[in-house]
Structure 1
Amino acid sequence: MGDKTNTHPGAAGRAATADRPSSLRNVVLVGHSGAGKTTLVEALALTSGAANRAGRVEDGTTLSDYDEIEHRQQRSVQLALVPVEWGGIKINLLDTPGYADFVGELRAGLRAADAALFVVSAADGVDGSTRMVWDECAAVGMPRAIVVTHLESARADFEEMTAICQRVFGGDDPDAVLPLYLPLHGEEGPDGHAPVAGLIGLLSQRVFDYSSGERVERPPEAEHLPLIEEARDRLIEGIIAESEDETLMDRYLGGEEVDVKTLVADLERAVARGTFHPVLAAAPAAEGGRQGIGTVELLELVTGGFPTPLEHEAPAVTTPRGTPRPPLTCDPEGPLAAEVVKTSSDPYVGRISLVRVFSGTLRPDETVHVSGHGMEDRGHEDHDVDERIGALSAPFGKQQRVLPQAIAGDLACVGKLTRAETGDTLSAKDDPLLMEPWVMPDPLLPVAIEAHSKADEDKLSQGLSRLVAEDPTMRLEQNPDTHQVVLWCLGEAHVDVALERLRSRYGVQVDAVPHRVSLRETFAEPAAGRGRHVKQSGGHGQFAICEIQVDPLPGGSGIEFVDKVVGGAVPRQFIPSVEKGVRAQAQRGVAAGYPLVDVRVTLLDGKAHSVDSSDAAFQTAGALALREAAGQCRIHLLEPYAEVRVLVSDEYVGPVMSDLSGRRGRVVGTEQTAGGRTLVRAEIPEIEIGRYAVDLRSLSHGTGRFSRSYARHEPMPQQVAAKIHEQEGSAA
């Protein structure tokens, strides 16, 4: 593995295809922003012959040329598929964003892949979020390998980076994370830095020299032999420890020379099982070179060591009504079951769905059934419809290369699916299926928006519905209390991209405005009120008088209305009118314009006129009585409290708890969890956690996560309430 030369590279100008699942590899690239994932994908495409020497495809665009927003922000913001071919094997490379705001795209890539390449920078190390993704992959047994990039950096140290990976990723078994190659350094420059010029294969004990711009194989120099011997012995022991041949270790320790072919076969099996994680190195191509350093070795690892889709257990399936179905197998002749892992819009061809086929064969222009779980709280409806799909294609830069079909295990882009959204299942119309959904991160950063102009207001609803159809990590809320349109996102960068897409893709300009929480009012003490509505202006007049008593109730009680009128002072037909007026005024508020809650309103007495009393008159009297009662006592402003659960590395527990206290939060408990993390449970005013998704990330260096749920409304401190009134007064 990695010590062979490819004899059947992919050809530029045509779509890589596969006629059987065993000739497919689906690989997701994972790593923090700036680690070099996209650069590595382009280098692999160059080496495989899919792109030219400038890293460009036929129309002159680069492989990362997917979105104008990515160019402006100089970072990936969405999942990108790049199919290449090596040794007769089609490799679907899934390049994911490294920034935490776009973790939804990462999870989609993990769903579509059968193995993962963790790309770490020798200059920057491993961040907390990358470690968390590694743990997620380990939990489901996904095969993983590590690629160390940025070796050209003056402060890069491959040996140190490997040791870090062993400590971070190896856990209790650091020998499960070992290098297959060592970097070969060239001559030192004036700054004392010796650039990487090639690799030394530990199993083959051969040097792969890239210094000429092409990969040249030769024997190692004498000075390299001691270094090779030490690293090679450790690698062989690590491989043998994973071997299915239990006698191999004893034979090796007894002095028997193990055949390289046997070691490679055991290595490939261990990698495919997800029990051994090789470390490789990658660096830019030498001046004028066609192959980036380490790209051939990496392609050989992917084709030889990573599993085929046949070895990947498919998600569980049911009928759309929930009846369990037999497990799927990766069989092109089986029942059709495919899943939309990404949805995007093209200004020329409309909506494009990136689909992973788990079973059966997807063909262009056929009618399929679209089933979706729906996420009503995020603006996504359930789907249970038939749709005719358009052409199948494979993306390459901005090109779409036509595919004749997509077999089980493959990925393809599907056009003309107007109803299907990310997470939906495509199946045969006469045998509809529904796949178990994958976990979507919960958007916890709110941004309230308003249309910039009347023209934008007319287009806003359609633009927002199309935006959330593309991105299931976004939630659209029409808040009935504050009357705001709120987009819930994963972070500030996610917000920026969402608003920019609204503007550039859907032609809707919006303005972000301060987000308001749903405040309430309540009586701090009992009070009485009298409502008198008497008007006489000729003809039929208006007459209604009512007297009420208002008493505070425990939180969550709502509004209670009690009738204690005696002697018919208020005729029976008008008592519901008084209640209606009281409730309408309570909804409008009695002090600051927020809904009144948690009070009992008792109707005690009143007067009526045989001619001038009416339903409308007693509604008005009821409202006036409540307002008068409010003027006789203190009114509390109530704010919503959230129950917050923060999962954070042990080293950040102290700062997190201190920060929660500074937000007027009450820590109600902590508990230890696996992986050196602590769960902190707290109750905190919602007004204090509007930006907590951003602040927690900074506080915990990207390792913290939290969830929130509404707990109750509680009285707001007087000084905070005064500040709210002041802000609203200045805004008015």
Structure 2
Amino acid sequence: MTSPLRNLRNIGVIAHVDAGKTTTTERILFYTGESHRMGEVHDGNTRMDYDPQERKRGITINSAAITVHWKGTQINLIDTPGHIDFNIEVKRSLRVLDGAVVVFDGVAGVEPQTETNWRLADEYRVPRIAFVNKLDRTGADFLRVVAMMSDRLGVRALPLQLPMGEEDGFRGVVDLVSMRALIWDRDDAKAPVREDTVPDALRDRAEALRARLLEAVVEMDDGAMAAFLNGDDVPVDLLKSCIRAGTLRGAFVPVLAGSAYRNRGVEPLLDAVVDYLPMPGEARGYEGQPEADPNGPFAALAFKLVVDGHGARTFVRVYRGRLRRGDQVFNANTGRSERITRVYEVHADDHLERDELLAGDIAAVVGLKDTLTGHTLCDRSHPVHLEEIVVPEPVIDVAIEPRRQADSQGLSKALQALLREDPSLHVRHDADSGQTILSGMGELQLEVAVENLRSRHAVDVVVGRPQVAYRETITGVAEVRHVHKKQSGGPGQFADVHLRIEPLARGEGFRFESQVVGGAIPREFIPAIEAGIRRAALAGIVAGYPLVDFAATVLDGSHHERDSSTMAFELAAAAALREAVAAAGPEVLEPVMAVEVITPPDHLGDVIGDLHRRRGQVRGQGQRGNAAVVEAHVPLKEMFGYIGSLRALSSGRAQFSMHLHHHATAPIGTLESTA
């Protein structure tokens, strides 16, 4: 039996930084009546970027949720960051969304972070529509961006509109579904869109594009296909139904056109969200996702935490059942029950209290003490584990310490709050230096985290120079037997561990297995062996960097009835790992970034030469509008301070973006030069 569907859309807005994503979102808020004035990023007064750091920097840092209504449909919308350092915000948002609007810059087209976010949406099977923005800009080309989508993203990009006018003359679109012109006579947001006939100058091109549209979408419905083959007109409602079916199946991606800043194309974009993106439970979703049945046993995923002066708010997506204020929920990850004290519908930084949530809702709850990002909340009598959110490994470290010794405890509490909010931040204690090491995805993320320590948590810290987060690994297999034996008059210590280690593929982390039989090592000591291995791996073996991508197997060992203990086996396992790594071909890994540089052609040679000096490998060159594009792989260590060098090389005209591509063996001499 099919579960009831709600006239609700859970969507995200995703894009590369500066594609106009937040501006598009602000227009959506205005046209849906949620805001009575439109905020502007450059004025620092947007509704969605309400954090002081976001307004100061002019970028989105935190994903922000808001509820709006359009033509009888409720839309829960999440505005996500475009900067790669805050990619965890995109990842956890896409995990709980049913659909997405991907915003493209009409000049730049498919940019690196757009591509990264697109792959994440593929991973979570999120249906998308595309909005080609900034078509009023010099060099904007709608059909070129459509072609780039097909080429770089490997999708069937299907234009539903054709722009009317180019660059500064952009004034409307031809709707290829209804074959009507939609015209905005003024930039004023309150000026209504005017419908008209298709201009004669665009009719041939519009009809050709519509024919391609029909060919693609009639495959979704036998009746539409029959009408098309007979040469009959396909009714608009049936055509929209076919577009919707293809979008939900991932057969193609509808593409719309506009200029959000000039208030052109936003109303048709909202219509497309309602017409073509799925209701809860309608899309394919991930394997094992429960049906969106409001009457079924409760199941929800916690995907974001916000800790502030008012306590902790947990953002949840309800997949099945209902959640009421005062309910007890079971955390399937911790095995504990917790009580919901408040339930809120979210409107950016405002919250509207609700009595209950239903399947499909995205909202905030208060009262959860031990729930973290990725935890499943459910009915204790119907336990379920929803697919968790995979957190990327950090690539950059900074050492931090309190400016005053009296702030040590405050720093510890503040760091714990930051880690609860952002699971892509890591903290560890360096045993050699005694320093606290904060790790993250990039310099900007760490800058923001440090500023939050100072402004939100009132902890003044001293920050070291950013360092690359190197890793250690092994290249071969090794077996060792280590006996830990100590006698000092009283009870002794004895543990005998036979250990084998072998390399895993990049990114697989750590795997532990015990093959001990016959009670050679009592079962209660096996967890201590794993703990010893984990502790030694985290501290590093060769150069003090965490050891990753290896499997450890306990093959055999022995114990003493009186002198064996948990501590003895933990110490023996740590020592065994150190011996085994030394024999298994250890090496140090460094993060290598995928870098894209956009530069005026007359500076191309200087840019490429500079990338080579940074140990970069140029992977390709191309043209984007009147600019040259260089794609390269460059070690992260060589990219510190790159923006200053690039500006000097190009008289301030070039720009770049980068994201982690892979880890590679660090050449001899690299580590010494980081000291």
User: Would you call these one fold, judging by a TM-score over 0.5?
Assistant: yes
Aligned pair in 2 of structure 1 residues 164, 476: CA closer, same or farther (>3 Å)?
same
- How much has 1:364 moved relative to structure 2? 1.6
Q: Does structure 1 retain, via aligned residues, the 8 Å contact 2:165–2:171?
A: yes
Judge which range, 388-397 or 110-119, deviates more. 388-397
Give the SS at the match of 1:93.
strand
Alignment equivalent of 2:52, drawn from 40, 44, 68: 68
Q: Which protein is bigger by CA-based radius of gyration? A: 1
User: How far apart, in 2, do the equivalents of 1:420 and 1:572 lie?
Assistant: 45
User: How far apart, in 2, do the equivalents of 1:77 and 1:108 lie?
Assistant: 14
Q: Look up the match of 2:443.
A: 492
Q: Does structure 2 retain, via aligned residues, the 8 Å contact 1:21–1:408?
A: no
Q: Does structure 2 retain, via aligned residues, the 8 Å contact 1:38–1:95?
A: yes
Give the SS at the match of 1:702.
strand
Residue identity in the other structure for 2:240: V
- How much has 1:365 moved relative to structure 2? 2.4
Q: Look up the match of 1:361.
A: 322
- How much has 1:395 moved relative to structure 2? 2.3
Q: Work out the percentage of aligned pairs sharing the same amino acid.
A: 29
Q: Look up the match of 1:152.
A: 136
Q: Does 1:393 align with 2:344?
A: yes
User: How far apart, in 2, do the equivalents of 1:47 and 1:440 lie?
Assistant: 35
Aligned pair in 2 of structure 1 residues 315, 194: CA closer, same or farther (>3 Å)?
closer
Residue identity in the other structure for 2:453: L
Q: Look up the match of 1:33.
A: 17
Aligned pair in 2 of structure 1 residues 216, 422: CA closer, same or farther (>3 Å)?
same
Residue identity in the other structure for 1:428: D
Q: Does 1:198 align with 2:198?
A: no
Aligned pair in 2 of structure 1 residues 662, 689: CA closer, same or farther (>3 Å)?
same
- Structure 1 unaligned segments of length 5 or more: list them: 1-18, 187-192, 287-291, 318-326, 373-382, 521-554, 564-570, 577-586, 588-593, 596-638, 665-677, 683-687, 728-732
What per-residue deviation string (whole Å, max 9, x for no partner) do you get for residues 112-169 of structure 1? 1111211101122211232233234335542111101112212222232223223223
User: How far apart, in 2, do the equivalents of 1:334 and 1:313 lie?
Assistant: 19
- How much has 1:258 moved relative to structure 2? 2.7
Aligned pair in 2 of structure 1 residues 65, 106: CA closer, same or farther (>3 Å)?
closer
Q: Look up the match of 1:299.
A: 270
Q: Look up the match of 1:233.
A: 211
Q: Does 1:328 align with 2:290?
A: yes
- How much has 1:392 moved relative to structure 2? 1.5
Q: Does structure 2 retain, via aligned residues, the 8 Å contact 1:76–1:98?
A: yes
Q: Look up the match of 1:184.
A: 164
Q: Does 1:257 align with 2:257?
A: no
Give the SS at the match of 1:476.
strand
Aligned pair in 2 of structure 1 residues 338, 153: CA closer, same or farther (>3 Å)?
same
Q: Does structure 2 retain, via aligned residues, the 8 Å contact 1:365–1:391?
A: yes
Aligned residues: 539
Q: Does 1:48 align with 2:32?
A: yes
Aligned pair in 2 of structure 1 residues 516, 163: CA closer, same or farther (>3 Å)?
closer
Q: Look up the match of 1:702.
A: 658
Q: Look up the match of 1:441.
A: 392
Q: Look up the match of 2:246.
A: 270
Give the SS at the match of 2:17.
coil
Q: Does 1:280 align with 2:256?
A: yes
Q: Does structure 2 retain, via aligned residues, the 8 Å contact 1:314–1:358?
A: no
User: How far apart, in 2, do the equivalents of 1:432 and 1:233 lie?
Assistant: 50
- How much has 1:107 moved relative to structure 2? 0.2
Q: Does structure 2 retain, via aligned residues, the 8 Å contact 1:63–1:82?
A: no
Residue identity in the other structure for 2:204: P
What per-residue deviation string (whole Å, max 9, x for no partner) do you get for residues 327-364 of structure 1? 622111111111111111232x2211111111111112
Aligned pair in 2 of structure 1 residues 166, 487: CA closer, same or farther (>3 Å)?
same
What per-residue deviation string (whole Å, max 9, x for no partner) do you get for residues 452-480 of structure 1? 11232231111111110111111111223
What per-residue deviation string (whole Å, max 9, x for no partner) do you get for residues 636-690 of structure 1? xxx9832468696999xxx99x9999889xxxxxxxxxxxxx999x9xxxxx976
User: How far apart, in 2, do the equivalents of 1:65 and 1:312 lie?
Assistant: 29
Judge which range, 92-101 or 131-140, deviates more. 131-140
Q: Does structure 2 retain, via aligned residues, the 8 Å contact 1:444–1:489?
A: yes
Give the SS at the match of 1:45.
helix
TM-score by length of 1: 0.65
CA RMSD in angstroms, aligned pairs only: 4.5
Q: Look up the match of 1:351.
A: 312
User: How far apart, in 2, do the equivalents of 1:516 and 1:301 lie?
Assistant: 44
Q: Look up the match of 1:341.
A: 303
Give the SS at the match of 2:12.
strand
Q: Look up the match of 2:507.
A: none
Residue identity in the other structure for 2:116: M
User: How far apart, in 1, do the equivalents of 2:287 and 2:193 lie?
Assistant: 45
Aligned pair in 2 of structure 1 residues 223, 340: CA closer, same or farther (>3 Å)?
same
Q: Look up the match of 1:506.
A: 457
Aligned pair in 2 of structure 1 residues 662, 123: CA closer, same or farther (>3 Å)?
closer
What per-residue deviation string (whole Å, max 9, x for no partner) do you get for residues 52-73 of structure 1? 14459xxx97422431111111
Q: Does structure 1 retain, via aligned residues, the 8 Å contact 2:329–2:338?
A: yes
- Structure 2 unaligned segments of length 5 or more: list them: 473-477, 493-535, 537-542, 545-584, 598-606, 617-630, 647-654
Q: Which runs of structure 2 are paired with 1:631-642 in the superposition (5 Å)?
A: 641-642=587-588
User: How far apart, in 2, do the equivalents of 1:573 and 1:63 lie?
Assistant: 70
Q: Which runs of structure 2 are paired with 1:216-615 in the superposition (5 Å)?
A: 216-240=194-218, 242-245=219-222, 249=225, 252-253=228-229, 255-284=231-260, 292-312=263-283, 328-347=290-309, 349-372=310-333, 383-514=334-465
Give the SS at the match of 1:311.
coil
Q: Does structure 1 retain, via aligned residues, the 8 Å contact 2:590–2:636?
A: no
- How much has 1:407 moved relative to structure 2? 0.8
What per-residue deviation string (whole Å, max 9, x for no partner) do you get for residues 395-422 of structure 1? 2232112223211111001123232221
- How much has 1:435 moved relative to structure 2? 2.3
Residue identity in the other structure for 2:413: Q
Give the SS at the match of 2:353.
strand
